[in-house]
Structure 1
Amino acid sequence: MSDSLRGRTVAFLMSNSGVEQAELTAPRDAVAEAGATVVLLAPEKDTIQAFTHDVEKADTFQADEAVKDADPAAYDLLVLPGGTTNPDKLRLDTDAVDFVRRFVAAGKPVAAICHGPWTLVEAGVVEGKTLTSWPSLRTDITNAGGEWRDGEALVDPANGWTLITSRKPDDLAAFTKKIVDTLSS
């Protein structure tokens, strides 16, 4: 186990009713193994249901805190896992969208995978950023002023905050490495 993230706290923001399990657990495990403290945020401090491919119910997780009560100053990085259900529900939750906006305004790094950037689009923070995602978000991202690129894992440090993005579960190894490397530096 590395101690490269010792003393760092990483927030994961998810809806209570559906997150792609691999896109939660792979980055969660990577930052925890590197020594970070992990906090699970959701609209309600209640159970979070994970899924495999948005279809099959997987494990459940307990939210550590309701996002409305969370302070961006308490965290060093925000991770937005995907699946289609998770970001679709989050972008309709005003507390979640506000938290993302405040996190970005504080200049803190954000990592989003698959459909996770939908929440960033809703928060109005992708303008001038270069990012990747699941291909179907390309139009949403470009309409919001971002530049979409097809890539395994991208890091954009422009505009006062760092954005780490990835396309899909097959890219999780590259995504988690970029997260740990970026937060370690």
Structure 2
Amino acid sequence: MLDLEHVPVDAPQAIEHLRAIGNTKAAPVVRLPWNDLVWIKRILDAGGQTIMVPFVQNAEEAKRAVAAARYAPEGIRGVAAVHRASQYGADATYLRNANAQTYVIVQLETPEAVAAAPEIAAVKGVDALFLGPGISRRRWGIWGRSAMRRCRRKSPRRRGRRSRPASRLALSGRTRRWCKNF
């Protein structure tokens, strides 16, 4: 993960990281500093394809992130003809395929966001949910194993099959199982 939220990396540095990762088989996830139209556009234009948007609280904020990541008619992302993602204009199919090749992960970091998880997951274009490991615990005023138990109790149970993958930093088998069943 290329972390722009907690690490002092700006857009030009992020491009250098994406170039370096582009020479490997890895598919980078870029965690943005905020749910911001300009940051989303810059990272996607720079060649990022999977973005993680931090601190999404509700379905409206998730819709805003998805709209910023998608070209019309699915979203509001501005069109530039020449940038790194389109191979500086050499990829004639880029605009036609970009929406299908862009992935949006939203990060849930508060009790309110976890409670709104079903509505957030239902937003068309949200590809996955990520549960923030530290902030949710701090906001509930608890740490360690009791934090995960509290999170499980407060989280709405989804009936039937999940429509969106959910993940978090899985430090134990119990946490991995919980995320699988979220």
- Settle same-fold status: TM greater than 0.5: no
Using the size of structure 2 for normalisation, the TM-score is: 0.33
Please identify which structure carries the higher helix content. Answer: 2
Using the size of structure 1 for normalisation, the TM-score is: 0.32
Please identify which structure carries the higher strand content. Answer: 1
Highest Rg: 1 or 2? 2
| Relative contact order, higher structure (CA 8 A, sep 6+) | 1
